[in-house]
Amino acid sequence: MIKKYVYGNPFSTEAAVENIIPSEDSIPYFEADGQGNFTLTLAENDIVYGLGEQIRGINKRGWEYVNWNYDNPNHHEDARSLYGSHNFIIISGAETFGAFFDYPGKMTFDIGYTKRSEMHIHAESSDIAVYIITGEDEKDIVKQFRKLIGRSYIPPMWAFGYGQSRWGYKDEKDIRNAAEGYRAAGIPLDSIYLDIDYMENYKDFTVDNKRFPDLKKLTAEMKADGIHLVPIIDAGVKIEEGYDVYEEGVSNNYFCKNAEGGDFVGAVWPGKVHFPDFLNPAAREWFGKKYEVLTSIGIDGFWNDMNEPAIFYTEDRLADTLSEIEKLASGNMGIDEYFRFTGMVAGLNGNIGDYDKFYHNINGEMVNHSTVHNLYGMNMTRSAFEALEKIEPEKRTLFFSRSSYIGAHRYGGIWQGDNKSWWSHILQSMQQLPALNMAGFLFTGSDTGGFGCDTTEDLVLRWLQYSLFTPLFRNHAAEGTRDQELYRFSTVQAMGEMIKIRYSLIPYLYSEFLKAALNNEMMFRPLSFDFPNDEDSLNTDDQLLLGNELMIAPVYKQNAKGRCVYLPEEMMMVRMRKHDDFDTEILPRGHHYVRAELEELVFFIRSKKMIPVCKPANSTDKIDWNSITYLGYADCTYTLYKDNGISPNPEDSLEITELR
């Protein structure tokens, strides 16, 4: 059952697609003061799930989370805000229920941080809608919530292949070298990503004709080899006379405004930019149509970035900072002056005060950006999705975004942000998956190998062994870091085998994704969701159930040659070094130390279940679905979901087959 409680005059975020009549009763469970504050007493054994992309484990107790979309590449344990804001939680205990706080501005969730036995939730204003969801268990609550917010985005099937990306592929030669490197090594590959280097001076919907003299030809060449090019699109539009996107945006008032009514000026990669007003339907439609510049030359996938929106600086804050620095530099900088100096410079990027300086035109009313901040990235992806539904209505286009709010899951996926080449970020990514699935985000994954910092060979190999199970499977690295294309490492053969294993698992992974999307379910779940009365399952947060048949327990520690694994039931352990070379062993319920050498993949098939596997191919379009065999227990069945992988409505070509 879902009940809605309305306080004040909340902004319509369009996160929910079902119309729930507001209740006139007092909100249950929470004490609410009508001023945006909600308090709940937590029992000692209560578990709090959710908050989507936030960090610090599957159980969110013990920390303060600030849902404010923020460009933060340093995902340390003390991070309070990341790129997305997903205000949905489940409190699991003597009374289990879900709560969605539909509020587009800054929200703070103090979940036992100030006082362990109390949860304090605070919205910046009193205008908020709250949905309380009760049901049979956590999975039922999630299913109801997912129905409330609408069906999850389903990408084309080729998006389930392996992708290679790097900020620093400067020209066509770099793209061809990457493709040739993978093909020469015999490693499957479905996509290569174009970061900001392909643009002319970082201008959206332009191509640098010196570096990429014929992107249409390059796109066709790559696609003939089963490789899709996926360019980046950023939120900021460069201020430059003669640039059509800039001039059209200015003349039609499609950009966000400052307090005086002029176009707001921020700065990102191109320097000074204007930000499209994605909350204005006319501006959203205009910007979305611009994607045709690239789809017309064969591009069929995009990733939207910098759309929190990230702001490197604003003109007035930069001027004030430079003036203060000049004063400091003219004197003797002691410790106080030095820290003030460094703090001022660091405070330019993403300064929360800058978001109070611009406005959106919403139904003729000027609305301050800070009050709707968390909706910006969602509506950028919506802009592209809705436009491509009209431009190319016969097929799906790949979309995923860095910034999001609940509701964005209907328009595209997300990647888990600009992570680091840290061992802890394997675990962090895995722990984010269930909460993201709860919030509707099924097409997601982390930058394999880590985006920032120099990676290591063993880290890449272990990361592959985790992320080969995630729907979005992309190797991405930052400019200036160590090259991390798989063919560059001495363990290239082992890495290639991990990719081949991924391709052999695509029938299962794609099938489970379709089931989760079409049936409003989770693809990744904590053990406790299926084994709620098992205390060890409740306390396990470094293993996940994947679909109804698998459990994953990746190795995420440097130099480890195994790990402890808890089995809540008897399971079949599968040990793979190659896609066609594996051993299986039945392990009883309980705690086990499982050996896992660096070049071995270990995962688990649940009791009396099996999964479909196929022969790997160089790209998803070459997979032979007639080659499917089965891995797992004998004398059981599997329900296979399959469609043609491209029709916008999967039901139009959906095949459901009982495999025995």
SS3 573: strand
- Residue in 221, 83, 58 with CA at minimum distance from that of residue 138: 58
Sequence-distant (6+) residues with CB within 8 A of 440 are 146, 149, 150, 152, 406, 409, 410
**What does the alpha-carbon distance between residue 55 and residue 82 come to, in Å, rounded to a whole number?**
9
DSSP state of 201: T
For residue 44 the two structure tokens come to 């000692």
Contact in structure between 407 and 149 (CB atoms under 8 Å): yes
Name the active-site residue from 308, 447, 457, 485.
Answer: 308
For residue 553 the two structure tokens come to 């327990």
Name the active-site residue from 71, 305, 521, 600.
Answer: 305
DSSP letters along 131-180, please? EEEE-SSHHHHHHHHHHHH-PPP---GGGGS-EE--TT--SHHHHHHHHH
**What does the alpha-carbon distance between residue 292 and residue 286 come to, in Å, rounded to a whole number?**
11
What are the φ/ψ torsions at residue 22 (nearest 5 degrees)? Answer: -60, 140
Whether the link from the prior residue into 309 is cis, omega within 30° of 0, is: yes
DSSP letters along 319-352, please? HHHHHHHHHHHTS---HHHHHHHHHHHHTTTT-G
Name the active-site residue from 46, 418, 485, 530.
Answer: 418
For residue 539 the two structure tokens come to 């306390």
Q: How far apart are the first and last CA of the chain?
A: 37
Contact in structure between 88 and 98 (CB atoms under 8 Å): yes
Sequence-distant (6+) residues with CB within 8 A of 7 are 32, 34, 36, 126, 127, 128, 129, 130
Q: Taking the C-alpha atoms of 90, 92, 94 and 98 in order, what is their torsion angle to the nearest 10 degrees?
A: 10
Q: Which CA distances in Å does 553 have to 284, 379, 578?
A: 42, 35, 18
Pairing of strands 610-613, 629-632: antiparallel
**What does the alpha-carbon distance between residue 51 and residue 59 come to, in Å, rounded to a whole number?**
10
Tell me if residue 418 is catalytic: yes
Contact in structure between 201 and 174 (CB atoms under 8 Å): no
Side chain identity at 166, as an amino acid letter?
A: R
Sequence-distant (6+) residues with CB within 8 A of 390 are none
Tell me if residue 585 is catalytic: no
DSSP state of 488: G
**What does the alpha-carbon distance between residue 238 and residue 241 come to, in Å, rounded to a whole number?**
9
Contact in structure between 275 and 304 (CB atoms under 8 Å): no
Residues with a known catalytic role:
305, 308, 418
